């Protein structure tokens, strides 16, 4: 079997699944089923667009892929399955194509743990007692009050972003930052944590 794998990325439109040209259709279906089965509760309900890299899929192959995606509760987007234009692929940073993103459309509650090889995006809160561990960045479009460990494989360039950043423990690579014992002013806006000068530093984030 080819060493290349289907790449699942989070986008503004939902999820994009990039199918390498080297994979046979049975390998594509096998990988999709395995990946979606392992994370179906996180992906469930997401809108999916499938990109076939430098290949023309037959109608029967398109139906097989659509069936595999939809049986796990995902929704095929309006574009369904299409072949990307070469310029669109070349415009994307190579590292971005190689890095997966897990999109979670719910709040993580106490006792829940997410571990993922790639980035993690949460459309909700991360409550105290919940934990996210990933090799890439962590982005929480809500409050982050649990444990967050970005760059768990040693990536010191990983970052942690939240609309309200109040973690009980924050880790980036091998650097650790815990919530202070004394009461400090609560954040008034989104914040970004990153490693600077061999320590985790948190700064206000501006969308401007």
Residue 154 belongs to what domain range?
Answer: 102-204
Tell me, yes or no, whether 77 and 148 share the same domain. no
Cβ neighbour number for residue 96 with a 10 Å cutoff:
11
Q: HSE, CB side, 13 Å, CA atoms: give it for residue 107.
A: 11
Tell me, yes or no, whether 137 and 64 share the same domain. no
Per-residue pLDDT of the chain in tens (208 residues, 90 and over written 9): 444 667 777 665 567 778 877 788 888 888 888 877 776 566 666 777 777 766 777 888 888 888 888 887 777 765 555 554 444 433 334 444 345 788 888 899 999 999 888 899 999 999 999 999 999 999 999 999 999 999 999 999 999 999 999 999 999 999 998 765 555 566 668 999 999 999 999 988 776 5
Tell me, yes or no, whether 119 and 39 share the same domain. no
Tell me, yes or no, whether 119 and 187 share the same domain. yes
Domain count, the chain: 2
Tell me, yes or no, whether 62 and 150 share the same domain. no
> pTM higher than 0.75, yes or no?
no
The CATH number given to whatever domain includes residue 48 is 3.30.750.50
Helices (H), the chain: 25-38, 40-43, 59-70, 86-90, 94-98
Residue 1 domain-assigned (yes or no):
no
Tell me, yes or no, whether 110 and 78 share the same domain. no
The CATH number given to whatever domain includes residue 119 is 2.160.20.70
* Of 36, 46, 62, 55, residue with least CA distance to 11: 46
Tell me, yes or no, whether 156 and 92 share the same domain. no
């Amino acid at each position: 079997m080819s060493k290349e794998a289907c790449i699942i990325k989070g986008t503004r439109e939902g999820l994009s699944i990039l199918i390498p040209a080297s994979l046979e259709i049975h390998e594509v279906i096998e990988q999709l089923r395995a990946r979606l089965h392992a994370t179906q509760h996180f992906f469930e309900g997401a809108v999916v667009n499938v990109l076939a890299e430098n290949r023309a899929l037959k109608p029967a192959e398109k139906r097989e892929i659509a069936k595999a995606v939809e049986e796990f509760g995902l929704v095929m987007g309006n574009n369904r399955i299409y072949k990307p234009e070469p310029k669109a692929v070349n415009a994307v940073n190579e590292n971005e194509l190689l890095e997966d993103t897990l999109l979670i459309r719910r709040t993580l509650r106490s006792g829940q743990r997410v571990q993922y090889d790639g980035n993690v995006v949460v459309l909700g809160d991360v409550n105290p007692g919940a934990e996210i561990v990933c090799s890439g960045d962590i982005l929480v479009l809500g409050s982050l009050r649990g444990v967050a460990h970005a760059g768990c494989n040693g990536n010191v360039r990983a970052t942690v972003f939240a609309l309200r950043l109040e973690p009980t423990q924050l880790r980036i690579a091998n650097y650790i930052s815990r919530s202070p014992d004394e009461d400090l002013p609560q954040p008034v806006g989104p914040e970004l944590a990153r490693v600077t000068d061999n320590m985790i530093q948190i700064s206000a984030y501006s969308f401007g």
